[in-house]
Each structure stands twice: as C-alpha cells, then as structure tokens.
Structure 1
C-alpha cells in the first residue's frame, strides 16, 4: 500500500464518469446525424425517381399522339416548351420507318427501339452517362421517339434536401461500371473509413440507375464542446466529493485518535495503580488503628470519652483523605463510555484501523506498508479499544524508528501468525495476543508498546502480531 494509491481510484472514477458521459453525448449526436441522413436520402431518391418517371410519361404521350417533328432534335425541345418545363431535356428526336435517328446520337438507338417495341416501354442508352447524358427511346407506330437528357439538370434544386455548395454528402448515379457524380460532398467524402452509405435503384422502368449516397464521418462532427464541459463538470464534482470524503475521514480519524488518547490515560491509570494503592494504604491503616483504639477506650470500666472522640476524629480525617484521593482519580480518568467488556475481535480489522489512523504519518514519512497473513486467524477475546491502542503505539514506534532512513528504504512489514493451540488458551486471563517489533534504523533503537525482539539486518522495520 503506497500513499499515492487513493489518487488512482479517483482518477479512474473520473475517467469512467467523463468517458461514459462523453460517449453518450457522442452517440446522441451521431444518432441525430444518422436520422437526418436517412431522411434526406429517402427524399433525394423520391425526387429523382419522380423526374425519371416524367420522362417515361413524356415519351408515352409522344408515341400516342404522334406529332410531326423536325430533324433538329434541339429545336423540337424548344418549340414544344418541354425544355422550359423540364430543363434536363436536351433534345427530342423522331424516327419514321424511312428516316434514321440524328447522326450525333448513339448508334444503339435502333436496337433499343426494337427492344422497346417488344417490351412496350422505353429503354435507355447509358453509354454517355459519365458525361451526364442519357438517351431514352420509346417505340411507336408509325414513328418512334427519343429523348436526350442532362441528368445533372434533372436534380430539382429548389426541393433538393442537400445544400449543393456545402453538403458533406457525396451523391452519384451508376449503371454497371459507369457512374455520374451529382454532388461531390466534402473533400474527404470519398476517403476510406467509417461512413454511412445508402444505395437504392431509382423507380423508373426505363431508366434503371442506382442512386448512391455516402456520408463520411469525421471527428469534427462530434460535440467536443459539450463533451469537454461534461468532463470538467465530472472533475469538479469528484473534486468536491473527494474533499468531503477527506473531511469526513479526517473527522473520524480525529475522533478515534481522541478515543485512543483516552485509552492511553487509562493505561496511565494502570501504571499509577501501585502508587495509588500505597497512598491509600496509609490512611486506611490509620482509620483501622484509630477505630480499634476508640473501641478499647469505650470498652474500659471507666471510658475515656474524650480520648475516644479524638481517635474517631482522626479516623474521620483519614477517611476524608482517602476519599479525596479516589475522587481526584475519578475526575481525572473516568469515562464510562469507553469501558468495554472483552469480546471477539478480528485482528486484521484492528490492524487495518490502526493503519487508517496512521495514514497521514505514512504519507508524510513516505513509508511503504507490506502485510503478510499466511492463513486466516481466529478472533481474539479481548478489549478491542485497548488492543487497538497497543497496535497504534507499536506501529507509531516503528515509524519513529525509521526517521533516519532515506524515504526510498522506509518499509513497514506487518506479519500475523498463530502459535500453539488457541482453544487451549482461550480461558486464560490474558487477551491471547502479544505484539513485538523489530527495527534497525541507524542510531535509533527500536521502540514498541510491548517490547522488542533482537534487531534485524539494516533497512527494515517489522511488526509481528501473534494470536
């Protein structure tokens, strides 16, 4: 046990509290961002799907009405006002049986027209998807029609859920291995790492494109301000709690030390008992002699009342003297609340209490404590207060004996052992416990409450407790 160990517990408590609260705040922030991303992804998919479905409706209407169009596909879009309503329409082409598709349009439109005639719905050519252009063909009779589309312009800017200028979400369309970037997102949007992704096929039977959305997560998205504020609150709260705990511990330690001081006064009373007995023996002997003399004087044929009265007065004076001696003793040391009867006590608990009371001394002297308990010991039948006082004095003497040693070499070893049969000695008048210590601080003889064994090799201080 080292005097810096309690700091580790408080530091661990702060780490757990601050880390738990910061994790909860980060989780709440990420959950809110994820819910917003999922909602916006669904909105973007719905808007683009609506735009592409409108292309199918336009082609179906043209194939049904069979309007006469010019060979200039761009002029056809402008003349029909479709380019004004749908800015993504670059051109409208018409092909009759005796006419080809516009020369600059893909050569695959003939094959797509045949597929559309068989399936009944439009088909697309995505060969120029990387450039943002898509061609959609709808077969009709007697003429077939095709649209040239700019997919970037198909994004409805006013209803789009992402701000194109500063949105962190990257959005693109794919068809096979070809892709079209609609929104670049943040600079690190396509970087590897933790990210939320959403992939869904647009709801158009002719324009089968996959919409991809990716939200790259970055540490700056976390709520660092609230997290740091929470860590500071935890630190202040634990600091206040630690201060209160230290104050309470100091108060309890002071109370126990006060109690031990009173026990020390009781021990002093035991040491003074012999002298007090001698002091009381003289007045008691004088009382007995004066009483016997008074009785003999009164038993004479002619009693000497004056002499008997004088003898009784001397006896009363000696009685008052004895009473005064006892009264002074009682006023000095009498504390009925500390008088405890012998009871079963655990030696380890008493050792821990003694170390707890000496914690400031251990911290100040930088003494390392090592305890050894080879096997569980039976309880002792003793006065716990008196025995704790013995242990306190014993350990304090060991600390004082190590004052001359360097702090790095100050070690207090406590070993608890049992010798003999405890059951055979439990009725003995003694407490069944004796204490000893050994220390080898240079020029500092060992001092213990109950005596010391021969010295050990230098640089050690040990306390043995036999039970």
Structure 2
C-alpha cells in the first residue's frame, strides 16, 4: 500500500470515527436531556403536591381558631337567654379535647377579657394578639422552626386564643408523594432565615461538584402562617442513564463497523471488477497480437503455395497425359490457396487494433498511477513489496487513451512484482518516478529490485513470444509497446546503471507520453513517498 493510499485510508477512517463520535455524543446527549427532563417534571409535580398538602393542614389551623372564636364566654350585660346558651356551649367547650383530635396542636391557651397570657409568653403573645386585631386573622408568635414549633394567636372578644403547633405532626405522611427516608428531594418550611426540615433529602451536589439542581419555593396558602415551602433536588452523575448511553454507543459503533465493512467490501468489489476489466482487455489485445502473428506466419507459406501451384500448373500444361485433369486440380489448388490467403487477410484486418491516437484525451498520469496502485494493493501487500512514489511538481497532463494507459501501467507493475518474487521479501522495493522531459513529454519510470534482465535478453525483450520467465507467453511487453506506439508514446528499457552490483540490480522501464497541449501545468494531489 502506498503512502498516499495509507493517508487516504487514514483520512476516511478518521472521518468515520469522527462521524460516529458526533452521532454517539448527540444520542447520549439526547438521552441525558430526556432523563433530566423526566426528573425535573417528577420533582415539580411532587413539590406542588407537597405544597397543596401542607397548605391544607395550615388552613385547618385557621378553621380551628375560627371555631374557638365562636365559642366565646358570655359578655357582661348579655341577656339571660344568651348567657344561658353561652354557658351551655362553654360546658361543651372543645378546648380540653383539641390535642387529642388534632395531634399537631400541643396546647390551647385562652386569655379572657381583662386577663393576661402566661408570664413567660406574655410579650410575644400580646404582640401577636395586637397584630391579629389589626389584620383580622390569626398571627404567628414565638416561631421555633428548627424545633418545628410555633404559636398561632387569634384576637377575639371577649377572649383571645393561642395554639401551640407541632410541625412534625402537621405532615400528612400517609398522603406524602415521596419516600421521606430515601427520596433525594429536600423539603423545608422556611421563614426569616430559619427552617424546619420536613424531608432531609440529599444536599450534596454530587462527586466533584458536578450535577444539576432544581428548586421550588412557594408560600403556604394561609396568610396567618407565612411559611415558605422550599424544595431542592440535586441530580448527580450516577443518576444519568449510563446503561442507555452505553447501549446507544455500542449500537452506533456496531452500525459504523458494519458500514465500514460494507465500504471495504464495496472497494474490494470495485477493485476486482476493474482488474477483471483490465484482464479482459489484456486477453483481447493478446489475442489480437497472437492472431496478427499467426496471420503473418501463415501468409508466407500460403503465398509460396500459390506460386508453386501456379508453376506446376504451367508445367503440367506441357504434359500430354491427363493434362486436362491436372489443370483442373491445380486450378482448384490455386483457388483454395487464394481463398485461404483471403481468409487470413480478413482475419488480420479484424484483429488489428484501431489507431488509439484518435481516442487520446488529457489525463493526469499521477492519478492513473494511483488508480492502478489501488487495484494492485492486495498484490503488493501479499508480496510484502514497498512502493515508493516520487512525483515531480507541476506536472502537465498527458495525452493518452485511459484504458490503454491503465493496461500498460498494470502490466509493468505486474512484471516488476513477478520479477521480485526471486529476491528475499526484505529486499523487495518498487520505485515509481514521474518527471517531465523537455517540457513536451512526461515520463513514468518503473524500477524493481529484482534480479534484472540478462544482457543477452535486452535486445529481444519486446519481441513477440520472447520471455525470460518460466511459463510466460512473451506477449506482455510486446502488447505494452504496441499500445504505447498506438497512442503516440514510447516504452523502453532503461540502460543498466553503472557501478556496483547493488546499483545494477533490477530493471527499469520508462514510459514516455506526450504532454497534452494547452492544459494547465498544475496536477491534482498525487501519491507522495
């Protein structure tokens, strides 16, 4: 594999990996987003349920206070009937029974008309009573949120009332939407910088401080108890859908591997099809060379046969015996000889290749070489041959017929690879060089590092049926030379390099093609060593 093809393969491989990484990251990001969205929606739903439940409980406290206000002792100067009704209601007063009915009410305090609150609680309860008279609803007093307790004071006439509330007992555990011991959501009731922890949840943001946080806060639906319901949720990295993301990455990796295998299979199929096409063209051209040689070889004996039979016909014409019969036989021989000559001539005209110069077109020689190297990539790898390509800068396009040019390069490379089968794998090197000659021609040099061509065989190398390889037909180089000449190019064996034996090893064939007139000199990217 040439360095250019290795770079191209690495570029395609890197592009595929980058595409897989983008798709995998996009899918994993979508899974993370969906998971976070699901957790956020669940958190907000639970937070709203918590707010509703707690609001219902504190509104219940206001209802109890309103009920106590209705159960007032008789005022001074009330009518006997009113006083009697009030006394009956007082006899049935629920004050002693409230803590047993409402577990969150720890105690009930009453300040009768002209009386006072307990001494220890007097200042705070008196202030809350004054505020209650002004606002018209109950007011909080003595809040101790860390301990989960506060007083609720309602000013009324003639008596005022105060309830001591235990927030722990206010929590409706049977209706709570979350598992209070294990839920990661932290719920508190906050006021004035202090808070009562309803549900501990998880307060740490996660390992290394990474994660996402959700928040919710809303005042309870009771003006008398302005407590803020605060819910917090920290989502750590361990809560992300790692299995789903891993599955997605594995799935996309499998699809990428399958696509890469299909791509390699497609490249291999294209290479095989191209090699098959070149092989078919080569066989047809070889058949043409063979038929042309056979026609040339048969034409001479047929011509001699024609001359001999004509002479025999004249000689036999002087003999008296069976003259007429001899003349008839010789006439038939002449007729058959002429027919055979005509058939052979017709066959030669059929197999003669057309003039390829009319089909020549501007081509980049480096691109054609790169395509053939790609086709022969498995052969080079199988034989452990390192191809070194050198391309001169700013080479002009050449004028050639595409298929014929590919076939010439293919045959030259195959000959070089077959020649290097006789040397150790570590010494197998294939040197390819593209250069310009006098501005009007472009040369392609193919040099192997094999045993080379014997001196006695150099003059006969391009003759038909001459070969130095066991089992060879001796038509490959002849065909290459014929194709090159048909395109107006030339193919030659470079002289042996002078010097030591190492410098003289191998053979170098040089294909010289005419540069395309009127074309830019710059060539497309080509393989570099």
Bin the TM-score by the shorter chain.
0.7 to 0.9
In structure 2, C-alpha distance between the alignment counterparts of 1:53 and 1:369, rounded to whole Å? 90
3-state SS of 2:197 partner: strand
1:242 deviates by 3.6
Cα distance, 1:286–1:226 mapped onto 2, change above 3 Å: same
In structure 2, C-alpha distance between the alignment counterparts of 1:411 and 1:177, rounded to whole Å? 84
Would the aligned equivalents of 2:105 and 2:165 in 1 still touch at CA under 8 Å? yes
Q: Indicate whether 1:437 and 2:446 are aligned.
A: yes
Query: 30-39 vs 188-197, which deviates more?
Result: 188-197
Match of 1:216? 234
Cα distance, 1:369–1:245 mapped onto 2, change above 3 Å: farther
Would the aligned equivalents of 1:136 and 1:148 in 2 still touch at CA under 8 Å? yes
In structure 1, C-alpha distance between the alignment counterparts of 2:175 and 2:437, rounded to whole Å? 87
1:209 deviates by 2.0
In structure 1, C-alpha distance between the alignment counterparts of 2:27 and 2:291, rounded to whole Å? 64
Q: Indicate whether 1:52 and 2:58 are aligned.
A: yes
3-state SS of 1:87 partner: coil
Aligned pair partner of 1:289 in 307, 311, 336: 307
Match of 1:391? 409
3-state SS of 1:141 partner: coil
Q: How do 1:32-431 and structure 2 match up within 5 A?
A: 32-66=38-72, 79-96=95-112, 98-105=114-121, 107-125=123-141, 127-186=143-202, 188=204, 192-193=209-210, 194-269=212-287, 272=290, 275-276=293-294, 278-286=296-304, 289=307, 305-316=324-335, 318=337, 342=359, 344=361, 346-347=363-364, 350-361=368-379, 363-364=381-382, 365=384, 367=386, 382-395=400-413, 420=439
Would the aligned equivalents of 1:412 and 1:462 in 2 still touch at CA under 8 Å? no
Higher-Rg structure is 2
Q: Indicate whether 1:23 and 2:32 are aligned.
A: no
1:204 deviates by 2.1
Cα distance, 1:312–1:183 mapped onto 2, change above 3 Å: farther
The Cα offsets for residues 25-61 of structure 1, whole Å up to 9 and x where unpaired, read as 3333332222211211111111112222222232233
The Cα offsets for residues 153-172 of structure 1, whole Å up to 9 and x where unpaired, read as 22211111111122111111
Would the aligned equivalents of 2:50 and 2:177 in 1 still touch at CA under 8 Å? yes
Would the aligned equivalents of 2:152 and 2:164 in 1 still touch at CA under 8 Å? yes
Match of 2:518? none
Unpaired segments ≥5 residues, structure 2: 75-91, 454-476, 481-490, 516-529
Would the aligned equivalents of 2:357 and 2:400 in 1 still touch at CA under 8 Å? no
Cα distance, 1:295–1:405 mapped onto 2, change above 3 Å: closer
Q: What TM-score results when the alignment is normalised by the length of structure 1?
A: 0.74
* Alignment coverage as a number of residue pairs: 440
Query: 255-264 vs 351-360, which deviates more?
Result: 351-360
In structure 2, C-alpha distance between the alignment counterparts of 1:298 and 1:202, rounded to whole Å? 141
In structure 2, C-alpha distance between the alignment counterparts of 1:134 and 1:57, rounded to whole Å? 17
Cα distance, 1:335–1:445 mapped onto 2, change above 3 Å: closer
Would the aligned equivalents of 2:187 and 2:231 in 1 still touch at CA under 8 Å? yes
1:63 deviates by 3.1
3-state SS of 1:389 partner: helix
In structure 1, C-alpha distance between the alignment counterparts of 2:334 and 2:289, rounded to whole Å? 29
Would the aligned equivalents of 1:283 and 1:321 in 2 still touch at CA under 8 Å? no
3-state SS of 1:124 partner: strand
In structure 2, C-alpha distance between the alignment counterparts of 1:340 and 1:225, rounded to whole Å? 66
Would the aligned equivalents of 1:63 and 1:140 in 2 still touch at CA under 8 Å? yes
Cα distance, 1:210–1:270 mapped onto 2, change above 3 Å: same
Match of 1:429? none
The Cα offsets for residues 100-129 of structure 1, whole Å up to 9 and x where unpaired, read as 333454842322222222222222236411
The Cα offsets for residues 272-297 of structure 1, whole Å up to 9 and x where unpaired, read as 57744530330452365368659978
In structure 2, C-alpha distance between the alignment counterparts of 1:30 and 1:412, rounded to whole Å? 61
Cα distance, 1:305–1:28 mapped onto 2, change above 3 Å: farther
Unpaired segments ≥5 residues, structure 1: 69-75, 422-431
Cα distance, 1:96–1:256 mapped onto 2, change above 3 Å: same
Match of 1:424? none
Match of 2:469? none
Query: 42-51 vs 227-236, which deviates more?
Result: 227-236
In structure 2, C-alpha distance between the alignment counterparts of 1:136 and 1:366, rounded to whole Å? 96
1:179 deviates by 1.8
Cα distance, 1:129–1:187 mapped onto 2, change above 3 Å: closer
The Cα offsets for residues 132-185 of structure 1, whole Å up to 9 and x where unpaired, read as 112222222222222222223222111111111221111112213212211111
Query: 204-213 vs 267-276, which deviates more?
Result: 267-276
